[in-house]
A and B are shown apart, each in its own frame.
Chain A
Amino acid sequence: MDRTFPTADGVRLVRDLARVIQENAQHLSDIDGLIGDGDHGVNMSKGFTLAGEQLTDGQDLASALQVLGNVLLNEIGGAMGPLYGSFFRAMARAARGQEAVDAAVCSAMLHAGLDKVRDIGGAEVGDKTLLDALAPAVAAFDHALDGGESFGSALQAMKAAAEQGRDSTRDLVAKKGRASRLGERSRGVLDPGAISCSLLLCTMADSIGAALD
């Protein structure tokens, strides 16, 4: 429980997030094309790339997450801009003033992000949205810590739950967003938001896990 992630590594973490979105842009757009407009990857990649360009070396975790959140919120639009933008801004707020992120701070950051996504999106777990990856991932992180596991293994638990949550969206019928108009026809396809959310959470877990001192 006493290992920490140095917040001076914040820029690297956010660059890792940008990279994973860029690498998966086509995949995300293709999946979105099955139940949405087909532009999820294009829009996400545009936002994360722009954020990557605005980062400056030496920014701490809170500032780097703030840059990412502001760009997504102010430049992307759609539903993903406000959801992910607010998510990262809330995480930035929870990280501000911390010299290092221990497991408790990390949990507070995740909860701040999750609460904001719930507040803005108004979705519930089971609606076939990014929340289906995010909510169980945060719960798994807390559960692992409560069970006495280390920061590192809690991150691994978060990762596994995010992927499992992503996969759970395959059998769900969309209740929110554009795919909800498809009703039963949305079943059988993963939710693109849950895929991108799982990618982001897994990258975050790997990036933090690798830098724990």
Chain B
Amino acid sequence: MQRIINDPNAVVADMIKGFAKAHPQRIAATANPRVLKYAQAPVPGKVGVVTGGGSGHKPAFIGYLGKGLCDAVAVGEIFTSPPGVAFLDAFRAADSGKGVACLYGNYAGDTMNVKLAMEDAADEGIEIKTVVANDDVPSAPPDQRQNRRGVAGEVLMWKVGGAKAALGGSLDEVIAAAQKAIDNTRSIGVGVSPCTIPAVGHPNFSIEAGMMELGIGHHGEPGIRVVPLQTAAEMARTMVEVILPELQGIPGEDAAVLVSGLGATPVMELYILYGAVQDLLEENGISVYRPYVGNYFTSLEMGGVTLTVMKLDEELKTCLDLPCDSMGLTQCGEM
């Protein structure tokens, strides 16, 4: 793997430096070098929205700092949860006095560090409530949904929670909307080639040539089965078949669909897959209200794709439609 880096142990610090220089209107540094905030945060009168996680998933997580999205982000090492103090400093940076919604993914480290940060935040009188994303269907059976990982559905959770906060929602309303967003969302990933943590230097999983891993996680966690590489049309069908039964149990006919590359897959191929996905969903009575196709939540240079579908009601549509501005997601209109 030929990389464009300096020191493999300093990739996160170097990335933060470049990101801050590139987006001075949108983001600002904080006293903690591992916490970035929306330039206007804390926004007076608005509930703060915080997330955080390991690095290597660009645009997640700092790419979703901005108007109508997240107010502060705790940044961890590659694929490693940020320490509790980073979450605490993110809470401090986001809180305008209205409380903070911490919207993060279901991983052991993040759960522990958020818990520790919440204990300290409570001592300071900052009210924190959480939503834990668990949209990744292959990571646990339906009766163990609470054990599932959070994957690209987190982007839709931030969009909805961020919009609810921007619309003046209370902390409980922001949490309820973000929880509904993730409860209505199901995802599945497919991996076609592995990724390497720069400081480790070699991939810690492999995908044989000519094969693909169905249900792979955002850090290369093994999926449900390894099968011969399929065409985009076949892959779309395989992926839709896994999540469709659960989607059909969620009320509503309209859906948001997010197809995200995992890092090394050309955007062209994402559109090839998306075309087949939309047809399949429509054949099954789900119409696409709003599609998102691109690199929204990646895993270093892993080859592959995640498919995320969120069933919509009127509240979720209103939140999705609200304009927003960030590096990872910008929707135009009056804000």
Contacts and interface: CB of A to CB of B under 8 A. Distances in A.
Contact of B83 (A29, A74, A183): A74
B10 interface: no
A29 B204 CA distance: 11
A37 to B, nearest CB: 5
A42 interface: yes
Contacts of A77: 54, 76-77, 80-83, 86, 109, 113
Question: 3 nearest interchain CB pairs?
Answer: A181-B221, A79-B109, A82-B112
Contacts of A82: 83-84, 109, 112-113, 116
Contacts of B58: none
A81 B204 contact: no
Given A82-B116, A181-B217, A181-B222, A37 B109 contact: no
Nearest to A129: B108
A78 B199 CA distance: 15
A181 B149 CA distance: 9
A211 interface: no
13 contacts: A37-B197, A38-B197, A38-B204, A39-B77, A77-B80, A77-B109, A79-B112, A81-B83, A81-B113, A82-B116, A121-B108, A181-B222, A183-B222
A73 B109 CA distance: 12
Contacts of B317: none
B31 interface: no
A178 interface: yes
Contact of A78 (B76, B197, B202): B76
A57 to B, nearest CB: 27
B83 A75 contact: yes
A73 B84 CA distance: 7
A78 B221 contact: no
Interface string B128-168: 00000000000100000000010000000000000000000
Contacts of B85: 73-74
Contacts of A37: 79-80, 197, 200, 204, 219
Given A77-B109, A86-B116, A120-B116, A38 B200 contact: yes
B112 A120 contact: yes
B26 interface: no
B108 A182 contact: no
Contacts of B237: none
Interface string A77-90: 11111110010000
B104 to A, nearest CB: 13
A177 interface: yes
Nearest to B117: A82
B175 to A, nearest CB: 22
Nearest to A119: B115
A121 B112 contact: yes
A120 B202 CA distance: 31
Interface in B74-127: 76-86, 107-109, 112-113, 115-116
A83 B112 contact: yes
Contact of B77 (A33, A43, A83): A43
B143 to A, nearest CB: 16
A185 to B, nearest CB: 6
A176 interface: yes
Interface string A167-181: 000000000111001
A165 B38 CA distance: 47
Nearest to A175: B147
A205 interface: no
A26 to B, nearest CB: 11
A80 B108 CA distance: 10
A181 B116 CA distance: 24
Contacts of A79: 81, 108-109, 112
Contacts of B217: 181
Given A36-B204, A82-B84, 18 more contacts: A37-B79, A37-B197, A37-B219, A38-B197, A38-B202, A39-B197, A75-B83, A76-B83, A77-B54, A77-B86, A77-B109, A82-B112, A82-B116, A86-B116, A178-B107, A181-B217, A181-B221, A181-B222
Contacts of A38: 197, 200, 202, 204
Interface string A107-121: 000000000000011
Contacts of B107: 178
Contacts of B204: 33, 36-38
A76 B76 CA distance: 9
